[in-house]
Structure 1
Amino acid sequence: MSDREVPGDLARLWRLPTGSRLGRRAELDVDRVVATAVELADREGAAGATLPKIAAALSVTPMSLYRHIGSKDELVALMGDAAFGPVPESLAARGEWRADLREWALAQCAVFRAHPWLAQWPITGPPRGPHAIAWMDAGLRALRPTGLDWGAKIGVITVLGGYVRQGFDLERQLRDSRTAAALDESQALANYGRDLTGLLDAGRLPDIAALFDSGIFESIPPEPDSAAASMSEDFHFGLELILDGVAAAVK
């Protein structure tokens, strides 16, 4: 690393030593603050990881947290990077870009399943933390055999990562709404089709009317009972479309 001084927030994000190391080790540090914040978010959602709640869980004052996290915005970055965690060893590139990139995307889905709040976490800029950078590296490594230039590679993993995040959050919200209404996916879609069919004007909305008349919303099979089931068929369809687009760019 160069002799350039690293900004304090980046030093904390990468856990670089700062200041004097003399004396007794502090009882509270960045890792403990961030781990507590992530645990609260996992248990109560993003709203559960407020500074007062974090401080209460650690039996300290909210103001004392600023010695370790710098600011609320810095806490956002620290929590996001910690929740993503290290890249799984299973993502070691095998030299088959499509399979490797698919596994990269599905591994991110697993992260969001473990930390659902992360899909709605603020994005404040390009990756800066050690875990985020490692995930970026894994995506770029998967694309190594394609021969795409750096700009194209970054574009691919940006589009794919955004799709995974948005796709997971959409499915989570739909699943939560169905759960609240005590419906499974097939029942919810059947109700949707039945409720709207009579309202559609085929002269003004011909393709939508044809879609609803096709009966497609009556033929969706029930979803798996397990809440931890893999992403839906729709998600995988979209994922393969993106990979098809990458293949077209690779030629």
Structure 2
Amino acid sequence: MSDERSEAVRLLWGPPTKPSRGPRPALDLDRIARAGIEVADAEGLAAVSMQRVAGLLGVTKMALYRYMPGKAELVAVMVETAIDEPPPGKGPRQEWRDRLGDWARHLATVFHRHPWLLDATVGPRVMGPRELGWMEQALAALDGTGLTGAERMDAVVLLAGHVRGIALQARATGPAGSPEARFAATLGQLMRTHGERYPALTAALASAARSGGQDQALEFGLHRILDGLGLLITERSD
């Protein structure tokens, strides 16, 4: 394991970190992580630096290094703090479909609250107890369904990927409107001029406008994924 990953494991999974030298500690990992989250929420992950976080905390950059080896470890601790605990279930008798639906919607809320998590949770990296708790809860929802471990893992990856895709679209459009509304508005302008070349698209946009059927991509995709899992689970039970 690389030194960077070893440090991340120590910070995320080990006992609370204390500086190896110097006066009595004035900071802790939670305060440091929340300062980094404040910067990332306001300006994005690229704006986070040891210097910026140190300034928010009123300490020197060198003082911050006594607690945090570098930006990679800082981001790891920020993720673990921002993602929070996985959503509570509604009891052991809650159906797998409802449990996974609640899980996906809570994940969408987390990405909406902290859009920079979309950048910070890609690629090979060390995950903390909370983040693994999210995975554990989604997998546990499929216990007793007859799906194999690999199928359950794939189902969770599929759900998370759908939520991430919608969250990425929402981040790209910004606060001015939903991704679907902005996309439909742009297409609508093109169809007014070129609609005769794309009759199916023109008809679909007109139907969506009449029914108010926009901003439903998260729920539509979520239900279709759960429908497919339901069919597979039925096959296993037969």
Length-normalised TM-score, structure 1:
0.76
Contact 1:91 1:138 in 2 (8 A): no
Deviation at 1:162, TM superposition (A): 1.7
Q: Describe the SS at the equivalent of 2:66.
A: helix
Which residue does 1:192 correspond to in 2? Answer: 187
Confirm or deny that 1:234 pairs with 2:217.
Answer: yes
Judged with a 3 Å threshold, the aligned counterparts in structure 2 of structure 1 residues 150 and 218 are, in CA distance, closer, same or farther, namely: closer
Contact 1:192 1:217 in 2 (8 A): no
Contact 2:50 2:61 in 1 (8 A): yes
Equivalent residues in 2 for 1:64-213, closer than 5 Å: 64-90=63-89, 92-125=91-124, 128-176=127-175, 178=176, 189-190=184-185, 192-199=187-194, 202=197, 209-213=198-202
CA deviations over 1:152-175 (Å, ceiling 9, x no partner): 111111111121122122123235
Contact 2:41 2:114 in 1 (8 A): yes
More helix by share: 2
Judged with a 3 Å threshold, the aligned counterparts in structure 2 of structure 1 residues 94 and 172 are, in CA distance, closer, same or farther, namely: farther
Q: Describe the SS at the equivalent of 1:137.
A: helix
Q: Which runs of no fewer than 5 residues in structure 1 stay unpaired?
A: 1-5, 203-208, 224-230
Moved >3 Å (runs of 4+): 17-25, 90-95, 183-188, 196-202
Contact 1:84 1:131 in 2 (8 A): yes
Deviation at 1:141, TM superposition (A): 1.2
Deviation at 1:66, TM superposition (A): 2.8
CA deviations over 1:65-111 (Å, ceiling 9, x no partner): 23322222222221112110112324655341111100010111121
Higher relative contact order (CA 8 A, sep 6+): 2
Equivalent residues in 2 for 1:211-222, closer than 5 Å: 211-214=200-203, 216-217=205-206, 219-220=208-209
Length-normalised TM-score, structure 2:
0.80
Q: Distance in 2 between matches of 1:99 and 1:111?
A: 18
Deviates more, 1:75-84 or 1:101-110: 75-84
Confirm or deny that 1:54 pairs with 2:53.
Answer: yes
Contact 2:50 2:70 in 1 (8 A): no
RMSD of aligned Cα (Å) = 3.4
Aligned-residue identity in percent = 31
